[in-house]
Chain A
């Protein structure tokens, strides 16, 4: 028997063996295939929706485009966070300044009646009275 016949018969036996894999394996392979196809579809949809031109060119540019959009998203998020932190610090400083002004006004004004210290609206009055 020559090599060609040997390989052909081995191939047939292997084919038969592959046809008789357990159901558990077949089921798992089917699930894996469906998941893989879902991934391919998920990646393909944004390209068709947002880009034009030859598909080959798109596929070559894909990685850099994806990297750029991801970098832009991260940068935007970082800027937003930095803005929120800056706003929070600025608000705290403003409030501290206002409180300091009120306390200073109270402490330096000799005309304030003793009941004024207990008045809840006194701080507001001083604040509104500021030039």
Chain B
């Protein structure tokens, strides 16, 4: 059984990566934050009594379901938005990132780097994220769970609701697709 401190530590360790997972899936920061919050609530309400070792797999499954729920809701909302699109105002200006936030987020840890190195690293990170965005959803999920969350094949398969063989296939295809795409961009890792 996970104590409150263990649950807190787990959420601290996983929350930023979960946010990035959600952003990769839905491509919308606000929606991603809502999804992560929803996943945290579900984990705390329903699975807080599980052993700490089980939390990563359970949380990934919850996060995946929360993303699916988001797409279901968006499908319904888009239907109504399409019907009333002529009277709804455009909110494109809200999606722009605040440059001050970007600068603030870059502070710390990279001060010793030269400006050129920092720019290059930022560009490489952006390219990697963009290529991960482009992966098919199943390949992206398998790749991120397996190599970023460091879950084993069995845990990934359980979280994704598929066989271990499928996980291996998805991971292999994702790795090759990413390597090829980054090479094509002239990025050597």
Q: How many residues of A contact B (CB 8 A)?
A: 39
| Structural contact, A25 and B128, CB atoms closer than 8 A | no
Question: A residues 22-47 with Cβ under 8 Å of B?
Answer: 22-26, 28-29, 32-33, 35-37, 39-41, 43-44
**Could you tell me if A36 and B101 are in contact, using CB atoms closer than 8 angstroms?**
no
User: Least Cβ distance of B95 to chain A in Å?
Assistant: 14
In the complex, are the beta carbons of A23 and B104 less than 8 A apart? yes
Which residues in chain A, 10-65, are within 8 Å of chain B measured between CB atoms?
10-11, 13-26, 28-29, 32-33, 35-37, 39-41, 43-44, 55-56, 58-59
- Among B12, B15, B106, contact of A20 (Cβ-Cβ < 8 Å): B106
- Is A22's CB under 8 angstroms from B104's CB? yes
A6-B189, A22-B105, A40-B48 known; A29+B4 contact, CB < 8 A: no
B8 partner residues in chain A, CB cutoff 8 A:
33, 37
Q: Which of B41, B102, B105, B178 contacts A39 (CB 8 A)?
A: B41
What residues of B have a CB within 8 angstroms of the CB of A107 in the complex? Answer: none
Q: A32-B36, A33-B11, A37-B7 are contacts. A17–B20 as well, Cβ < 8 Å?
A: yes
- Would B4 and A22 count as touching, CB distance under 8 A? no
In the bound complex, do residue A18 and residue B16 qualify as a contact, i.e. CB atoms below 8 Å apart?
Answer: yes
Q: Is B89 close to A, CB under 8 A? A: no
Report B's interface with A, CB cutoff 8 A: 1, 4, 7-8, 11-12, 15-17, 19-20, 29, 33, 36-37, 40-41, 43-45, 48-49, 97-98, 101-102, 104-106, 109, 121, 124-125, 128-129, 132, 143-144, 147-148, 172, 175-176, 178-179, 188-189
Q: Can you list 6 contacts pairing A with B, beta carbon distance less than 8 Å?
A: A13-B189, A17-B128, A19-B109, A21-B16, A24-B98, A43-B45
